[in-house]
Amino acid sequence: MIADWLTSSAGAARPGGTAKAELLELELAECTLPPREGRTESGHGEPGAAGNRVSEAPTRPVMRAVDPPAESGPAGGAPADPFPDGGGNLPGSSGEHLLQHAYDTVKRARRFYDEQVLDHLNPRMKEFVAKTDLAFIATADSHGECDSSLRAGPPGFIAVLGDRHLAYPEYRGNGVMASLGNISENPHVGMLLVDFVTELIGLHVNGKARILEDADLRAIHPGLPAEFERGRKPERWVVVQVEEAYIHCRKHIPRMEPVPRNRAWGSDDAKRKGGDYFAAKGTPRPWHDTQPQRG
């Protein structure tokens, strides 16, 4: 079952696939968000150093009663959670709860948690995912540096694997691997699925992700989509274990209307892909500076 390997780092639970063993190690990595001081000039820390990934998931700050919020948080700078011990299982972060107290929104936030936030996908959410053709993906690396990206496809390109798992495909792209690279260091992801055309509504899905080669996931879920636009086929999939699922209200979602357009699928032609639209080409980059920095 998907849940067995998603929540386990045991060797026996690792997918086979065609990737090299060291890449599978990266694909199944979890990280405790080490402090930036642990990084070397290359940005990755020495082998075996504390700055590298570790196998255990990060622990939440200790919950404690603070009203008004005045105590400092646990070591590492995380704020102390202002809710008493009885509220320790509420969704959201300690900082989120802290600001609810500071800005007097506790009652509104608690009502939203109680009425709208689930730890799984209910039937209507699964129907929405199965119809969506667009999602925004938020990731962060092991130091918390963020990236957001767009994923799109025909309705149903995001596969619902059950109440607590969904998967979206990764196609051949620019080769940077920004989102997948972040997931290899830090499995926490945020997804926002939006219907701009008919329902004008959105769905947030937050959870933990793992990367699987296309053949490996199909071996577990043979019912994955097999028909893709213009022969476009996934190279791999990101499987997300759902931890939070909740609505994004329609009040500020604009209505859009899809129109026909010609697409250059599979093209590496820069002009067809947008060219240098933002006039970035030729601009000096700090990573092009070969001169040693002087203090």
What would the pLDDT profile of 147-206 be if each residue is shown by its tens digit? 999 999 889 899 999 999 999 999 888 889 999 999 999 999 999 999 999 999 999 999
Domain boundaries, the chain: 2-11+21-35+120-248, 64-117
* Pick among 3.40.50.1370, 2.30.110.10, 3.30.1300.30, 3.90.1150.10: CATH of 2-11+21-35+120-248: 2.30.110.10
Q: What is the mean pLDDT of residues 108-130?
A: 96
Six token digits for residue 233: 């086929």
Mean pLDDT for all residues in the chain: 75
11 has pLDDT over 50:
no
Six token digits for residue 208: 């933990």
Per the CB < 8 A criterion, the answer to whether 97 and 81 are in contact is yes
Nearest-CA neighbor of 57 among 165, 171, 185, 248? 185
50 has pLDDT over 60:
no
Per the CB < 8 A criterion, the answer to whether 168 and 157 are in contact is yes
Task: Return d(Cα 115, Cα 53) in angstroms, integer.
Answer: 37
Task: Return d(Cα 22, Cα 5) in angstroms, integer.
Answer: 17
What would the pLDDT profile of 229-283 be if each residue is shown by its tens digit? 666 789 999 999 999 999 998 888 989 888 887 766 555 566 665 677 888 888 8
pTM: 0.69
CB atoms within 10 A of CB 109: 19
Residue-level pLDDT at 287: 84
